Amino acid sequence: MSKAPEEPFYPSTFPPFTGKKIMTNEVSVWQANLGTGDEVYWNDPDEGICSGHATFVGHMSYVDGVSVIVKDDVKMQVFTKELS
Q: What are the tens digits of pLDDT across the range 33-77?
A: 888 999 999 999 888 889 999 999 988 866 678 899 999 999 999
Instruction: Look at the chain and report how many structural domains it folds into.
Output: 1
Tell me which range, 4-18, 25-39, 53-67, 70-84, is most confidently predicted by mean pLDDT. 70-84
**Dihedrals phi, psi of 80, to nearest 5 degrees:** -60, -35
Whether 5 maps to a domain, the answer reads: no
In a domain, 24, yes or no: no
Is 3 within the bounds of a domain? no
CATH of the domain at 77: 2.30.30
Which H or E run contains 41?
Answer: strand 39-42
Residue 60 lies in a domain: yes
- The reply to whether 8 falls in a domain is no
Query: Predicted confidence band at 2 (pLDDT cuts at 50, 70, 90)?
Result: low
Domain that holds residue 67: 29-82
39-55 burial, b if ≥16 CB within 10 A, otherwise e? Answer: ebebeeeeeeeebeebe
